């Protein structure tokens, strides 16, 4: 029987210069390998064990022995997390985005909750929704059913997916933002240089 979770340990790693230069499938394999390494570090910190990384026919990670997991990567960063509850994690590099993309990620009611830099808020909304969609095992097809309902502060917000409330924690670092579904647990972010 799994112990009650009080802390979740997401791990984030930089992508090496050599791996950043890779192209196509080689790059995807390298990023996936790095994200799985981050996941194993999360397991170590959590006292959890994953010997396999099964996915369903849609590519959604399946829990193993009560351990849920999530991977994420971009060209220059990768991350992973393991927990005893459904978990989702996403990473993004902050960069300019178009007004059309701003409108796509959130509706007018959600934007009314936000104050300050719309570009930065876009990445909070995007990563939070992606983390929730990963936790519920849905892809971007579920985006219209995932809504921001409260912005608590710069690192916490509340979303709903089909009326179920999902807290999301954010972590800002070196021009990036990470989002995690923490289930009201403490979050201990690890950024490995």
CATH number at residue 38: 3.90.470.20
The burial of 66, by beta-carbon neighbours within 10 Å (0-12 exposed, 13-18 middle, 19 or more buried), is given as exposed
Q: Is the pTM of this model over 0.85?
A: yes
Per the listing, tokens 């927990």 go with 83
Within a domain: residue 125?
yes
Within a domain: residue 109?
yes
Q: Which two tokens stand for residue 93?
A: 């590099």
Q: Which of 38, 45, 87, 43 is nearest to 62 (CA)?
A: 87
What Å distances lie between residue 2 and 38, 39, 137, CA to CA?
22, 18, 21
Structural domain of 50: 7-191
Within a domain: residue 108?
yes
What per-residue confidence (pLDDT) applies to 1?
47
Within a domain: residue 1?
no
pLDDT along the chain (193 residues), means of 10: 76 96 96 97 96 91 95 96 96 93 91 91 96 91 91 96 96 96 94 91
Q: How are beta strands 11-14 and 77-83 bridged, if at all? A: antiparallel
Within a domain: residue 121?
yes
Within a domain: residue 2?
no
As for how many domains the chain has, the answer is 1
């Amino acid at each position: 029987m799994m112990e009650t979770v009080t802390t979740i340990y997401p791990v984030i790693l930089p992508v090496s210069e050599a791996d950043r230069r890779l192209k196509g499938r080689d790059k995807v394999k390298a990023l996936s390998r790095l994200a799985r390494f981050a996941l194993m570090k999360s397991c170590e910190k959590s006292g959890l064990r994953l010997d396999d990384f099964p996915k369903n026919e849609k590519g959604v990670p399946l829990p193993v022995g009560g351990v849920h997991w999530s991977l994420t990567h971009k060209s220059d960063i990768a991350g992973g997390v393991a927990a005893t509850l459904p978990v989702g994690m996403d990473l993004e590099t902050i960069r300019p985005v178009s007004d059309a993309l701003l409108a796509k990620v959130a509706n007018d009611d959600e934007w009314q909750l936000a104050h300050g830099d719309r570009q930065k808020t876009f990445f909070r909304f995007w990563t939070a929704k992606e983390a929730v969609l990963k936790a519920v095992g849905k892809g971007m097809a579920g985006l219209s059913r995932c809504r921001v309902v409260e912005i608590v502060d710069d690192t916490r917000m509340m979303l709903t997916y089909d009326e179920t409330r999902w807290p999301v924690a954010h972590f800002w670092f070196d021009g990036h933002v990470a989002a995690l579904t923490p289930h009201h647990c403490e979050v201990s972010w690890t950024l490995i240089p």
